[in-house]
Amino acid sequence: MLANYIRLKEAINENYEKINLAAKGINDEILSQSTLNQEKLNRNVFNLVVLGQFKRGKTTFIKSLLGAELLPTAVVPLTSIVTVISYGKKVKITVLFKDQIVWRNAGIHPE
């Protein structure tokens, strides 16, 4: 599966190079967006949207992808809000409310 991802990533990168070359000097907006997307691809930054009905295993699916128990699960809905997960040197949780930011060390040690 990883080999397939790498092959597809290289093919997409080649297409971005073609787009960048074609847009250079003609359309700065397309060039800028294409370059930004190419940089995100090369840094392995992408959005994955998981949505579905209540209690259908979305959080379990995400935890399986991550290989760690980073998200809560319970009988009542706990992840009914937008949740952003990103890689970092330390495991931490940042909660953004309307008017403040609360940060704490999650105390989670993924295997």
Distance, in Å, from the CA atom of 13 to the CA atom of 35, rounded to the nearest integer, reads 10
d(CA 50, CA 59): 9
Distance from C-alpha of 109 to C-alpha of 90, rounded to nearest angstrom: 9
| Reported confidence tier of residue 110, pLDDT bands at 50, 70, 90 | very low
Considering only CA atoms, which of 44, 38, 109 is closest in space to residue 70? 109
**Per residue in 31-74, pLDDT tens?**
999 999 999 999 988 788 888 888 888 888 888 888 888 777 77
